[in-house]
């Protein structure tokens, strides 16, 4: 049989494991949120870059068309 002291010690270890488990869950949640936010920001930047490239391409096409008409 376990002595009362060893049972107390086992109980505190279980409590530490529960606390660590909660902290790990929180850490996983935070990392997930951070990676999701970063991915969203990258997508927005990529879209902005594509829009800018499309605008520049359209300007070049317009200049070419105007030079053909002149």
pLDDT at 66: 87
Does position 57 have pLDDT exceeding 90, yes or no?
yes
Mean pLDDT in residue range 49-61: 92
Q: Is residue 63 part of a domain?
A: yes
Q: Is residue 16 part of a domain?
A: no
Cα separations (Å) of 22 from 19, 28, 30, 34, 45? 5, 10, 12, 18, 35
pLDDT at 4: 53
pTM for this one? 0.50
Average the pLDDT over each of 13-22, 25-34, 53-62 and give the range with the smallest value.
13-22
Q: Which residue has the higher pLDDT, 50 or 70?
A: 50
Q: Is residue 38 part of a domain?
A: yes
Q: Is residue 51 part of a domain?
A: yes
């Amino acid at each position: 049989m376990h002595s009362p002291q060893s049972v107390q010690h086992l109980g505190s270890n279980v409590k530490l494991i529960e606390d660590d488990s909660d902290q790990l869950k929180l850490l996983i949640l935070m990392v997930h949120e951070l990676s999701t936010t970063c991915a969203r920001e990258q997508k927005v930047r990529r879209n902005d870059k594509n829009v800018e490239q499309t605008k520049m391409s359209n300007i070049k096409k317009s200049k070419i068309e105007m030079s053909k008409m002149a």
